[in-house]
Structure 1
Amino acid sequence: MLNIKFKQGIQIVISLIIAIWIFWFLYKDIELASLISQVRSSRWTWIVFSLAISLFGYWLRGWRWALLMNFEEGEKVSPGRAYHAVMVGYVANLLVPRAGEVARCGVLARTNGISVGRLLGTVIVERSIDLLFLVGIIFLAFLVENQLFLALAGEMVDLQGLGSKLAANLPLLLGGAAVFALFLYLLGRMFRNSGLIKKAQGFGRQLLSGLQSISNLKNPMGFWLSSVVIWIIYFFTMYTVSLAIQSTANLTPGEVLLVMVMGTIGMVAPVQGGIGTFHALVAYILIQFGISESDGKIFAAIIHGTQLILVLVGGLISWLVMVRIPAWNKPDKV
Structure 2
Amino acid sequence: MSKKSLIKLLKIILPLGIGIFLIYYSLSSATAQERATLWENIKLANPWYVLLSLFFGVLSHLSRAYRWKYLLEPMSYQTGLANRFMAVMAAYLANLGIPRSGELLRGALMTTYEEVPFEKAFGTIISERLADFIMLLSLVAIALISQTDLLLQYFAERNINPLYTLIVLVALVAMIFIGFRLIKRAKSGILLRIKNIAAGLVEGMLSILKMKQKWAFIAHTLFIWVMYVAMFWIIKFTIPEIAAAPFSVILAAFIIGSFSISVTNGGIGVYPIAIGALFVFFGFSKEGGEAFGWIIWGSQTLLVVVLGALSFLLLPLLNRNR
Aligned residues: 310
The answer to whether residue 274 in structure 2 is matched with residue 281 in structure 1 is yes
How far does residue 27 in structure 1 lie from its aligned partner after superposition?
2.5
Superposed, which structure 2 residues align to 1:239-258 within 5 Å?
Answer: 239-258=233-252
Counterpart position of 1:223: 217
Structure 2: which amino acid aligns with 1:268? Answer: S
How far does residue 124 in structure 1 lie from its aligned partner after superposition?
0.4
Counterpart position of 1:171: none
Structure 1: which amino acid aligns with 2:217? Answer: F
The answer to whether residue 283 in structure 2 is matched with residue 290 in structure 1 is yes
Counterpart position of 1:59: 62
Counterpart position of 1:194: 189
TM-score, length of structure 1 as denominator length: 0.84
Structure 2: which amino acid aligns with 1:249? Answer: A
SS in structure 1 opposite 2:120?
Answer: helix
Counterpart position of 1:151: 153
The answer to whether residue 36 in structure 2 is matched with residue 6 in structure 1 is no
How far does residue 39 in structure 1 lie from its aligned partner after superposition?
2.3
Q: Distance in 1 between matches of 2:3 and 2:318?
A: 34
How far does residue 137 in structure 1 lie from its aligned partner after superposition?
0.6
Superposed, which structure 2 residues align to 1:1-334 within 5 Å?
Answer: 3-30=3-30, 33-70=36-73, 72=75, 76-157=78-159, 193-195=188-190, 197-269=191-263, 271-326=264-319
Structure 1: which amino acid aligns with 2:292? Answer: F
How far does residue 36 in structure 1 lie from its aligned partner after superposition?
3.7
SS in structure 2 opposite 1:324?
Answer: helix
Contact 2:186 2:192 in 1 (8 A): no
Q: 1:115 to 1:20 in 2, by over 3 A?
A: same
Q: Distance in 2 between matches of 1:189 and 1:4?
A: 29
How far does residue 213 in structure 1 lie from its aligned partner after superposition?
0.5
Report percent identity of matched pairs.
23
Structure 2: which amino acid aligns with 1:38? Answer: N
Bigger radius of gyration: 1
SS in structure 2 opposite 1:77?
Answer: coil
TM-score, length of structure 2 as denominator length: 0.87
Q: Distance in 2 between matches of 1:142 and 1:231?
A: 18
Structure 2: which amino acid aligns with 1:47? Answer: V
Q: 1:186 to 1:115 in 2, by over 3 A?
A: closer
CA RMSD in angstroms comes to: 3.0
Q: 1:328 to 1:149 in 2, by over 3 A?
A: farther
Structure 2: which amino acid aligns with 1:217? Answer: M
Q: Distance in 2 between matches of 1:296 and 1:142?
A: 20
Q: Distance in 2 between matches of 1:8 and 1:192?
A: 33
